[in-house]
Structure 1
Amino acid sequence: MDDYTLPFWIYLGVLTFFVAGAMKKILASHLSAAPALVAWLGATVLVERLWAFCLPAVLLLALLVLAFCIYSAARTGPPPTTLSAHGKAVFITGCDTGFGNAAAKHLDALGFEVFATVLDLSGDGARDLQRTCSPRLTLLQVDITQPQQVQQALLDTKAKLGLKGLWGLVNNAGVCVNFGDAELSLMSNFRGCMEVNFFGTLSVTKSFLPLLRQAKGRIVTISSPAGDQPFPCLAAYGASKAALNLFTNTLRHELEPWGVHVSTVLPSAFKTGQSSNHAYWEQQHKQLLQSLSPALLEEYGEDYVAETKELFQSHASQANPDLSVVIDTITTALLSPQPQARYYAGPGVGLMYFIYTYCPFGLSNRFLQSLFMKKQVMPRALRKQSGFNLDLSLHNNNNNEEKLK
């Protein structure tokens, strides 16, 4: 067995790849999963038999490369057909900036009749949409946390559509108002995230469902991997997105008999909203320090809070400014004949979910921490405790040495 240590690990990695691929095919399939399952399991058995004959690792890899080439060649051909945007109406929330603004422009250019909600009709985002989009686009001032404004938007949309239903609802509006550890975050931060990301989206979705059922349309919700995975210092935001993800998944099952497709888009890190605004992070940092009690600030320390701010700011500055991946994904979810339940938009998201799903908890947890918040500063109380323990250990060692003398 020792002679085959390297091939064994290669075999184990390949076997894991095939089994994971089979499960992904089953979970993502909207039709019968039998052909895909048979193909993947057959390939897995082939690898198993090759290993039984102890073929060299190089030959095994060569066979895998050949199989991949054959598979890729078999998949080449005309691109999959998509539905036409002509005559279809879509309602998008949160179009002042970011994904919503870019999606409204792109979908308008494709020929959709776009209803775009903004918080400020006189703001830069609204003026930008008015200047660049066609007369088909309708701007609506809506705060999705205000039921009266949501209902008014529904009435305005109905009046414009007439007897035609609504093809697409893009739930994009969202906020991330928390900053730092859960213990340091105000209750108002948790409530603020829930009000917009969950309750606001819930209100819009429930209000527009009759129009979506009428058209057998689509619901596309922009969520976050933070709703599925425990990102440090994102407890309030992640909890709201977790509630949103569960609601969306439940809605998918309930609306299937109505012919309404429900998709969730999970983007990686992109520059949107205030993320690249240095003054924004400084203001958040100042507000956090002012909100903490003296005792809690003493426990954590000003330097610990400052490092958190710097890490958030650094992460935001390194985010991708090109939003096209997410916009293309939204378009695909709206126009694909068989849209997927989930879309991973951006580099690294699929790998992150693979590690989180298939790797041991300890490994996936360390990967997540190293990926997002690489904290170096410990809370002040823990540093004092570590120093006390170190002094106590040195004192005990000195006493032991005195006894030996």
Structure 2
Amino acid sequence: MDDYTLPFWIYLGVLAVFVGGAMKKILASHLSTAPTLVAWLGVTVLAERLWAFCLPALLLLMLLGLVWCLHATTRTRPPPPPLSAQGKAVFITGCDSGFGHATAKRLDSLGFEVFATVLDLSGEGARELQRTCSPHLTLLQVDITQSQQVDQALLDTRAKLGPRGLWALVNNAGVCVNYGDAELSLMSNFRGCMEVNFFGTLSVTKSFLPLLRQAKGRVITISSPAGDQPFPCLAAYGASKAALNLLIATLRHELEPWGVQVSTILPSSYKTGQSTNQAYWEKQHRRLLQGLSPALLEEYGEDYVTETKELFQSYASHANPDLTPVVDAIVQALLAPQPRVRYFAGPGVGLMYFIHSYCPSSISNRFLQKLFVKKKLMPRALRKQSSFDLDLSLHNNNNNNNEEEKLK
């Protein structure tokens, strides 16, 4: 015992904290078996180090075993039964298609009183909700960026609820105005994403908070991992979701004394909205090219911009069409006696956050690049520079060879 120096014990302490934090994050995230086994390997390495260096590690191993047994006991207890949907009213934004549309249908089938907002009351999504859902579902035409429409929706909802409060607000409406490098994106694209994803959601939330506080209800927001991690070519969308995530996290603290619980849903990649529409991608592509200055287009190259469009289109075409994991997460957040702060909805999201939280940035950034947009082309100016450097290197090598020949 006396042979071990203070730095040794500091090292073991840091290793123990790291492994313990990783285990806590994995267990709290309800990930699949593989990441959990990886974490337990880390615990095994820690135990082996302690065993090799000092006998009192036996006590620590016993303590770790006891903690795990207690944790396993609490996990095997049957969870408390979910709350009843009867008599509970939910307001959902963005129900024309995608997550909002599927959620409105599910909640209506469960017995919730649903207020579903759409951009177009005569659109296909609105007509389908009217045709397939019960009379308890109310359709409201709302553009969340228009404060007058949000105010009118609040009046209509309050009039129908009467003295009751609102059990939950599901902030689902959102847009990804464009794709591409930040330098190539117009300022109007950044403002467009912020206007809908951040300011629109903020406007709806602030307007409906009195009804939510009255019912001690819930705020559930559909966000994106792009708001926490630097996905390539999604700067405008990611920045708006980052602002939204911070807003929601702040609201969680502020609304706790009121009894209002706040959750965030973080989906993986799904086919929603215009993601499978060929004409949509072509329109976005033309709009991006038309917005670039000739000098910027020359430096990046039209082929570079086209490759980005094709990569996004291919990624969207391979996205999951089954929205069930996201809808299930929303239902859990609505009916769980103690809802989670964050729900990872879909395969790989929890692992992505684990890598982002615990691995060096070089590894997490490479993971994102391999997972998301696998670009092969460099901007044209860099290709020219690379070609120039290669020619210069070959020229210098030839000159050196000629000089050596002369010396001989």
Deviation, 1:51, is: 4.8
Partners of 1:18 and 1:335 lie apart in 2 by 31
Deviation, 1:78, is: 3.8
Q: Judging changes above 3 Å, is the alpha-carbon distance between structure 1 residues 45 and 376 closer, same or farther for their aligned structure 2 residues?
A: closer
Partners of 2:258 and 2:69 lie apart in 1 by 41
Answer yes or no: is 1:200 the counterpart of 2:200: yes
Bigger shift: 68-77 or 159-168?
68-77
Q: Within 5 A, what are the aligned runs for 1:40-51? A: 48-51=46-49
Q: Could you say which residue in structure 1 is the equivalent of 2:131? A: 131
Partners of 2:240 and 2:165 lie apart in 1 by 30
Deviation, 1:381, is: 0.5
Answer yes or no: is 1:382 the counterpart of 2:375: no
Q: Within 5 A, what are the aligned runs for 1:169-188? A: 169-188=169-188
CA contact (8 A) 1:18 1:43 kept: no
Partners of 1:313 and 1:251 lie apart in 2 by 35
Partners of 1:192 and 1:209 lie apart in 2 by 25
Q: Percent identity?
A: 74
* Per-residue deviation, residues 91-146 of structure 1 (Å, max 9, x unmatched): 00000000000000000111100000000000000001001111000000000000
Q: Tell me the amino acid that sits aligned with residue 191 of structure 1.
A: R
Q: Secondary structure at the match of 1:219?
A: strand
Bigger shift: 262-271 or 14-23?
14-23
Deviation, 1:90, is: 0.3
Partners of 2:42 and 2:320 lie apart in 1 by 37
Answer yes or no: is 1:82 the counterpart of 2:54: no
* Per-residue deviation, residues 325-362 of structure 1 (Å, max 9, x unmatched): 00000011111111111111100000000000000011
Partners of 1:45 and 1:179 lie apart in 2 by 42
Deviation, 1:271, is: 0.3
Q: Secondary structure at the match of 2:385?
A: helix
**Uncovered stretches (5+) of structure 1, i.e. residues with no partner:** 1-11, 29-41, 55-63
Q: Could you say which residue in structure 2 is the equivalent of 1:105? A: 105
Q: Within 5 A, what are the aligned runs for 1:263-302? A: 263-302=263-302
**Uncovered stretches (5+) of structure 2, i.e. residues with no partner:** 1-13, 30-39, 53-63
Q: 2:22 aligns with which of 20, 23, 26?
A: 20
Partners of 1:257 and 1:19 lie apart in 2 by 28
Q: Could you say which residue in structure 1 is the equivalent of 2:163? A: 163
CA contact (8 A) 2:16 2:46 kept: no
Bigger shift: 324-333 or 395-404?
395-404
Partners of 1:365 and 1:287 lie apart in 2 by 29
Q: Tell me the amino acid that sits aligned with residue 161 of structure 1.
A: L
Q: Within 5 A, what are the aligned runs for 1:4-403? A: 18-23=20-25, 48-53=46-51, 75-76=75-76, 78-403=78-403
Q: Tell me the amino acid that sits aligned with residue 99 of structure 2.
A: F
Q: Secondary structure at the match of 1:307?
A: helix
TM-score (norm 2): 0.85
**CA RMSD after TM alignment:** 2.6
Q: Tell me the amino acid that sits aligned with residue 336 of structure 2.
A: S
Partners of 1:49 and 1:193 lie apart in 2 by 49
Q: Tell me the amino acid that sits aligned with residue 126 of structure 2.
A: A
Moved over 3 A (4+): 12-19, 42-54, 67-80
Q: Tell me the amino acid that sits aligned with residue 380 of structure 2.
A: R
Deviation, 1:178, is: 1.5
Q: Judging changes above 3 Å, is the alpha-carbon distance between structure 1 residues 365 and 48 closer, same or farther for their aligned structure 2 residues?
A: closer
Deviation, 1:398, is: 1.1
Q: Secondary structure at the match of 1:143?
A: coil
Q: Tell me the amino acid that sits aligned with residue 283 of structure 1.
A: K
Q: Secondary structure at the match of 1:356?
A: helix
Answer yes or no: is 1:404 the counterpart of 2:404: yes
Deviation, 1:50, is: 4.7
Q: Judging changes above 3 Å, is the alpha-carbon distance between structure 1 residues 388 and 75 closer, same or farther for their aligned structure 2 residues?
A: same
Q: Tell me the amino acid that sits aligned with residue 348 of structure 1.
A: G
Partners of 2:317 and 2:43 lie apart in 1 by 47
Partners of 1:15 and 1:374 lie apart in 2 by 35
Q: Tell me the amino acid that sits aligned with residue 323 of structure 1.
A: L
How many residues align? The count is 371
CA contact (8 A) 2:304 2:378 kept: yes
CA contact (8 A) 1:18 1:44 kept: no
TM-score (norm 1): 0.86
CA contact (8 A) 1:108 1:134 kept: yes
